[in-house]
Amino acid sequence: MDSNEAVYRVRHLGRVYRSGEVEIAALTDVGFDIGRGEFVVLLGASGSGKSTLLNLMGALDLPTSGEIVCAGIDIGHASEAVRTRFRREQVGFVFQFYNLISSLTAIENVALVTDLVAGRRDPVPLRPADALALVGLEARQNHFPAALSGGEQQRVAIARAIAKQPAVLLCDEPTGALDYATGKLVLEALARTNAELGTTTVVITHNASIAGMADRVLKLADGRLVDDRRNAQRLSADQLSW
């Protein structure tokens, strides 16, 4: 990776939570770069600091110390207005639970996001129908969430996240509520969007089996980055087992 192509630059990142007189260090001295177009798995057990790091990477929280820059924006020290715009335009979020609006069809759920960045020319948002086609749901675009399976709802959530063509896609346990066969379809959708759109993709998970599909695996333990390795070859979702 050329450092000039880094989407994320993280240096000495720390996050301390306080409860009365008690301080809890959720993250300590974390540092890494993530390159444009990389598919990264952020791996760690419950309590390792994964969710805290996701919140910082998505500008949902502020660090106690250190630096975090994404797409050229110092999101660790930016104003709330800048951070709100960053989340709206530069980040796509995919969570364990789908957060679709039940009264809207699949294509209407996706269109909510593209409407937020309508008129932007660089990059131009995807048409909602094209985003759904990318995750294999072109035939289901007029269905309401209640008529979709869990895996289909998660793929709608992915389409919604990538439709605005964000700089980075942050996925928090995207297969955590799904069985293996359904989870595999979701992972295939993530791999396809990464390959076809070049979207920098970060998947946060406790499931070590998913690590095989990444370009690179970052491992957290007790709030510290304990491993940073590249896979010699990316596996397809079909080759994973858990």
Which domains are assigned to the chain? 36-61+90-239 (3.40.50.300)
Could you report the per-residue pLDDT of 2-55, keeping only the tens digit for each?
445 799 999 999 999 998 889 999 999 999 999 999 999 999 999 999 999 999
Could you report the per-residue pLDDT of 50-73, keeping only the tens digit for each?
999 999 999 999 999 999 999 999
Whole-number pLDDT of residue 242: 64
Distances (CA, A) of 191 to 48, 111, 214, 234: 25, 22, 9, 10
Please check the confidence at residue 138 and state whether its pLDDT lies above 50.
yes
E strand or H helix at 162, and its extent? helix 150-162
**What percent of the chain clears pLDDT 70, i.e. is strictly above it?**
98
Whole-number pLDDT of residue 4: 52
Rounded CA Rg of the chain = 17
β-pairing, 39-43 with 22-35?
Answer: unpaired
Q: Is the dihedral of CA 10, 227, 2, 186 positive or negative?
A: negative
Extract the tokens encoding 127: 């048409």
Which residues are CB-neighbours of 45 under 8 A, at least 6 positions away?
A: 206, 221
Could you report the per-residue pLDDT of 76-132, keeping only the tens digit for each?
999 999 999 999 999 999 998 889 999 999 999 999 998 888 777 778 899 999 999
The answer to whether 76 and 56 are in contact (CB under 8 A) is yes
- What's the predicted TM-score (pTM) here? 0.91
Could you report the per-residue pLDDT of 77-92, keeping only the tens digit for each?
999 999 999 999 999 9
Gap between the Cα atoms of 29 and 194, Å rounded: 29
Question: Of 12, 57, 40, which Cα lies nearest the Cα of 224?
Answer: 12
